[in-house]
Structure 1
Amino acid sequence: MSVVALRNRLTQDDIRRLVKGENEEVRASAAQKICRRMDAANLTDAERGAARDILDLIARDAAELVRRAMAVTLKQSRNLPRDIAVKLAMDVDAVALPVLESSPVLEDEDLLRVLEHAGSGKRCAIAGRPHVAPIIVHELLDSRDERAVSIAAANDGARFDDAAYQRAFAEFCENPVVMDAFVARSQLPLDVTERLISHISDTALQRLVSHHALPPQVAVEIAEGARERATLDLVDQAGLAHDPKHFVQQLRLNARLTPSLILRALLRGHVAFVEHAFAELAGITHAKAWLLVHDAGPLGLRAVYDRTGMPSRLYPAIRACFDVLHAMEVPHDTAGRERFRRALAERAITRFQGIPEDDLDYILSRFEDDDEQLARAG
Structure 2
Amino acid sequence: MILRQFLALTQNATPERRAEAAGTLTRSYLQGTLGPEAAWEAKTALLALLDDPAAAVRRALAQACADSEQAPRPLIVALASDQPDIACLVLARSPVLMDADLVDCVAMGCEETRAAVAGRSDLSKPVAAALAEVGGAPSLIALARNPLAAIGTAALMRMVERHGDDADLRQALLTRTDLAIEVRHAIVALMAEQLSRFGQDAGWITSERGDRAAREARDAAALALSDEAEEAQLVRLVAHLRVQEQLTAGLILRAILSLRLPFAEIALAELSGLSRARVAGLMLEPHGAGFAALHRRAGLPALLLPAIRAGLTVWRDANGGRNGVDGPRLARSMIEAALTACETLPFAEARGLMALLARFEAEAARDEARILAHEQAEAQAREAAEAPILLTAPEAVDGFVSEAPSEILILSADASVSEPVLPDASAAWPLAPRPEERIGAAVRESAGEIGPDTAETVLAGLADEIMAHFLAERAAATGQLSGPAPETQPAIIPEIVVEPKRSTRPRAIAVAVAAGMIPEDLILSYRADRERQRLAA
Q: With the length of structure 2 as denominator, give the TM-score of the two structures.
A: 0.35
Larger radius of gyration: 2
Higher helix share: 1
Q: With the length of structure 1 as denominator, give the TM-score of the two structures.
A: 0.48
Higher relative contact order (CA 8 A, sep 6+): 1
